[in-house]
Homo-oligomer: A and B are copies of this chain.
Amino acid sequence: MATGRTERPAQRGRGIPEATVARLPLYLRALSALSERGVPTVSSEELAAAAGVNSAKLRKDLSYLGSYGTRGVGYDVEYLVYQISRELGLTQDWPVAIIGIGNLGHALANYGGFASRGFRVAALLDADRAVTGQRIAGMAVRHMDDLEQIVREDHVSIGVITTPAPAAQEVADRLVAAGITSILNFAPTVLSVPEGVDVRKVDLSIELQILAFHEQRKSGLDPVAGPVPARPSKPGERGDLPEVMPA
């Protein structure tokens, strides 16, 4: 193999920080919008504003991919779209399987945002025979029994779990056994998976709880409604009297 193969800029390859990877899709989205508007070039200042970050961070992030800008000019929109897409692995199509066709699975099956970004919903799966066979978004829902076959034949490497929480771990185990190495988990459970399998989670109620925390600070009140549980008494402390909580 020629030496050129390994002569990547030092920062490329494995070395892209996770925080940067997580922002690349934001840049890509902003760039796609510019591309559709026919904008040929964009400065780090403009692109950063469109993506909702500051320009120093944007430039640092892009520098991990290489030197794709032009000083005094900015970045070529199309070229940068391509470079980021390639870095994220979106120049190929990723077949995705959705497991658990309840309300959320149903919504995701119909979600247009996947197809437009290099993902293809290859299969909808459910364990309930009352659901299998139904047609959703033009696809028949298949039974979980077909999982292994589908993964094999359609080269599915990403699974999306939208089952109820109690079923999620078992589904994850089956996905892993079938050869899937990336899981997007919507069930509110911690999944345990072997090394080498990536799990990302989306938890709707966790996001709300984080908002509630900040909302509480804003309103200034420290509201305590309902009974306050007794602090468990420790040996050496005076008894079982519920102590007054700091208001």
Contact (Cβ within 8 A) A14 B224: no
Given A25-B203, A79-B229, A208:B107 Cβ within 8 A: no
Q: Which of A108-116, A127-135, A141-149, A170-178 contacts B (4 or more CB under 8 A)?
A: A108-116
With A5-B246, A157-B215 given, name 15 new contacts (CB 8 A).
Answer: A25-B206, A25-B210, A51-B190, A79-B231, A86-B245, A92-B216, A116-B205, A118-B212, A158-B212, A158-B215, A181-B218, A182-B212, A182-B214, A184-B208, A198-B215
In the complex, what residues of B have CB within 8 A of residue A218's CB?
Answer: 181, 196
Are A117 and B232 neighbours in the complex by a CB distance under 8 Å?
no
Residues of B within 8 A of A200 (CB): 207, 210-211
Q: How far is the CB of A15 from chain B (nearest CB, A)?
A: 11
Question: For chain A residues 155-175, which have a beta carbon within 8 Å of chain B?
Answer: 157-158, 160
Return A126 CB to nearest CB of chain B, in Å.
15
Are B224 and A198 closer than 8 Å at their CB atoms?
no
Residues of B within 8 A of A184 (CB): 204, 207-208, 211
**B-facing residues in A30-76 (Cβ within 8 Å):** 30, 41, 50-52, 70, 76
The quantity of this chain's copies bound in the complex is 2
B103 touches A205 (CB 8 A): no
A87-102 contact mask (Cβ, 8 Å, vs B): 1 or 0: 1111110101000001
Q: How far is the CA of A120 from the CA of B183 in the complex (A)?
A: 29
Are A211's CB and B223's CB within 8 A?
no
Interface centre among A108, A210, A225 (most CB of B within 10 A): A210
B22 touches A229 (CB 8 A): no
> Complex Cα distance A86/B92, Å?
47
> Are B79 and A205 closer than 8 Å at their CB atoms?
no
Let me know if B89 and A213 touch, CB within 8 A.
yes
A24 at the interface (CB under 8 A from B): yes
CB distance from A99 to the nearest CB of B (A): 15
Contact between chains at B106 and A190 (CB < 8 Å) = no
User: Min CB distance, A150 to chain B, in Å?
Assistant: 17
Contacts of A183 in B (CB 8 A): 211
Contact call B94/A208, Cβ cutoff below 8 A: yes
Interface presence of A238 (CB below 8 A): no
Flag if A21 contacts B213 (CB, 8 Å). yes
Chain B residues with CB under 8 Å of A246's CB are 4-5, 7-8
